[in-house]
Amino acid sequence: MKFEDHLEGDVVVIDVSGKIMGGEETTLFHGRIHEYIQQNKKNFVIDLTKVDWMNSVGLGMLISALTTVKNAGGRLTLANITKIQSILTITRLISVFEHYDTRKDALKALA
């Protein structure tokens, strides 16, 4: 897994790519979320366009990120979940995450 993050206005956009399976990248991902929250940036879009695959550790990473952001009083949305929609549906997490078909729609929802 790789990720890149940047600000679009007041919203943090994190582009995730590859296979989400845990490891060092997961720790770095959480660290970045905490850094943004400390900077009072509390709205996040996680764009999953380039994610190929995700296991249960990847789901745990997203759940942990959602919990962290909600506890800080923010919102976390997912964009472009097509490739992981089946795992979110099977685990019934599809109803837990706010999700949008495009990054643009996710950003509009957080505006």
Among residues 32, 91, 35, 90, the alpha carbon closest in space to that of 63 is found at 91
Q: Which CATH superfamily is domain 2-110 in?
A: STAS domain (3.30.750.24)
Among residues 62, 47, 44, 43, the alpha carbon closest in space to that of 17 is found at 47
- The string over 2-39, giving b where at least 16 C-beta atoms fall within 10 Å of a residue's C-beta and e elsewhere, is ebebeeeeebbbbbbeeebeeeebbeebeebbeebbee
Q: What is the pTM of this model?
A: 0.93
pLDDT exceeds cutoff 90 at 32: yes
**Tens of pLDDT, residues 35-51:** 999 999 999 999 999 99
pLDDT exceeds cutoff 90 at 102: yes
